[in-house]
Structure 1
Amino acid sequence: MRNRWTDAEAGGSPLEECAYGSRLIGAEPTLVLHGGGNTSVKATVADVTGADVEVLHVKGSGHDLATIGTNGFAPLRLARLRELLGVPALSDPQMVNELRCALLDAAAPDPSVEALLHAMLPHRAVQHSHADAILSLTNLANGEDVIREVFGDEVVMVPYVMPGFDLAVACARLWPKRSHDGTVGMVLLNHGLFTFGDRTEEAYTRHIDLITRAEEYLAAHTGRTAPRPAPALPDVPRTELAALRRAVSGAAGHPMVVGRHTDEATAAFVARDDLAAVATRGPATPDHVIRTKRTALVGTDVEAYAADYDAYFGRNHTRRGTELNRLDPAPRVVLDPRLGMLTAGRRAKDSDIARDIYLHTMDVIAKAEELGGYQPASEAHIFDLEYWDLEQAKLRRAGAPPAFAGEVALVTGAASGIGRACARALLAAGASVVGWDLHEAAETLSDSPEYLGQRVDVTDADAVGAALDAAVTRFGGLDIAVPSAGVFASGMPIAALDTDTWRRSMSVNTEAVAVLFREIHPLLALAPRGGRVALIASKNVPAPGPGAVAYSASKAAVTQLARVAALEWAADGIRVNVVHPDAVFDTGLWTPEVIAERAASYGLTPDEYKRRNLLHIEVASADVANAVVRLCSDDFRATTGAQLPVDGGSDRVV
Structure 2
Amino acid sequence: MQSLWSDEEARACGDDALALRVYTSRLLGRDPELVLHGGGNTSVKATVSDFFGDPVEVLYIKGSGGDLAKIGPEGFAAVKLSVLLRIADLSTLTDAEMVREQRAAMLDPASPNPSIEAVVHAVLPQRFVDHTHANAVVALTNQPDGLELVKKTWGDRVIIVPWIMPGFLLAKAVRELTKDADWSKVEGLILMQHGIFTFGDTAAESYSHMIRLVSEAEAALAARGGSSSAIATADVEITQNDLLALAAARKEVSQARGRAVLAFAETGPEAAGFASRPDAGDLATRGTLTPDHSIRMKRRPVVLDGAEAVAAFGGWYGDSHTRLQKGQPALDAAPRWAVWPGKGTVAFGTTLIEAGIVKDIAEHTVRTIQQAEAAGGWTALPEADLFEIEHWDLEQAKLRGAPAPKPLQGKIAIVSGAAAGIGRAIAEELHAQGAVVTGFDLNPETPVRLGGRPGLTGRVLNLTDYPAVEQAVQDVVRQYGGLDILVSNAGIFTAGANFEYMDPANWAKSLEVNLTSHMKLL
CA-to-partner distance for each residue in 1:437-464, whole Å, 9 max, x for gaps? 3345543534555345433222211111
Q: Which amino acid aligns with 2:518?
A: V
Query: What is the number of residues matched between the two proteins?
Result: 513
Structure-1 residue corresponding to 2:421? 417
Q: Which structure's relative contact order is higher, taking Cα pairs within 8 Å and 6+ residues apart?
A: 2
Counterpart secondary structure, 1:478: coil
8 Å Cα contact 1:130/1:193 also seen in 2? yes
Counting only pairs closer than 5 Å after superposition, residues 243-322 of structure 1 correspond to structure 2 as 243-298=248-303, 299-300=305-306, 301-318=309-326, 322=327
CA-to-partner distance for each residue in 1:195-223, whole Å, 9 max, x for gaps? 11112121111111111111222223225
Q: Does 1:365 align with 2:382?
A: no
Counterpart secondary structure, 1:385: helix
In structure 1, list runs of 5 or more residues that go unmatched: 518-654
Counting only pairs closer than 5 Å after superposition, residues 216-615 of structure 1 correspond to structure 2 as 216-222=219-225, 230-237=234-241, 238-298=243-303, 299-300=305-306, 301-318=309-326, 322=327, 324-439=328-443, 441-443=445-447, 445-447=450-452, 449-489=454-494, 497-517=502-522
How much does 1:387 deviate? 0.5
RMSD: 2.1
| % identity of equivalent residues | 43
8 Å Cα contact 1:349/1:450 also seen in 2? no
Q: Does 1:127 align with 2:130?
A: yes
TM (normalized to structure 1)?
Answer: 0.75
- CA distance in 2 between partners of 1:30 and 1:193 (Å): 13
Change (3 A) 1:179 1:370: farther
- CA distance in 1 between partners of 2:296 and 2:192 (Å): 20
Q: Which amino acid aligns with 1:92?
A: D
How much does 1:22 deviate? 0.9
Q: Which amino acid aligns with 2:125?
A: P
In structure 2, list runs of 5 or more residues that go unmatched: none
Counting only pairs closer than 5 Å after superposition, residues 84-99 of structure 1 correspond to structure 2 as 84-99=87-102
How much does 1:384 deviate? 0.7
8 Å Cα contact 1:233/1:338 also seen in 2? no
CA-to-partner distance for each residue in 1:397-456, whole Å, 9 max, x for gaps? 113322112211112233333333322222221212222233455435345553454332
- CA distance in 2 between partners of 1:9 and 1:141 (Å): 42
Change (3 A) 1:233 1:21: same
- CA distance in 2 between partners of 1:439 and 1:28 (Å): 41
8 Å Cα contact 1:236/1:339 also seen in 2? no
Q: Does 1:197 align with 2:200?
A: yes
Q: Which amino acid aligns with 1:185?
A: G
Q: Which amino acid aligns with 1:385?
A: I
TM (normalized to structure 2)?
Answer: 0.93
Change (3 A) 1:393 1:441: farther
- CA distance in 2 between partners of 1:414 and 1:244 (Å): 29
CA-to-partner distance for each residue in 1:130-169, whole Å, 9 max, x for gaps? 1111111011121111111221211111112222111111
- CA distance in 2 between partners of 1:487 and 1:122 (Å): 73
How much does 1:351 deviate? 1.8
Counterpart secondary structure, 1:411: strand
Change (3 A) 1:440 1:71: farther
Structure-2 residue corresponding to 1:6? 6
- CA distance in 1 between partners of 2:263 and 2:119 (Å): 38
- CA distance in 1 between partners of 2:355 and 2:379 (Å): 25
- CA distance in 1 between partners of 2:198 and 2:250 (Å): 42
- CA distance in 2 between partners of 1:406 and 1:458 (Å): 26
Comparing 344-353 and 370-379, the one that deviates more: 344-353
Counterpart secondary structure, 2:281: helix
Structure-2 residue corresponding to 1:67? 70
Counterpart secondary structure, 2:156: coil
- CA distance in 1 between partners of 2:132 and 2:230 (Å): 30
Structure-1 residue corresponding to 2:36? 33
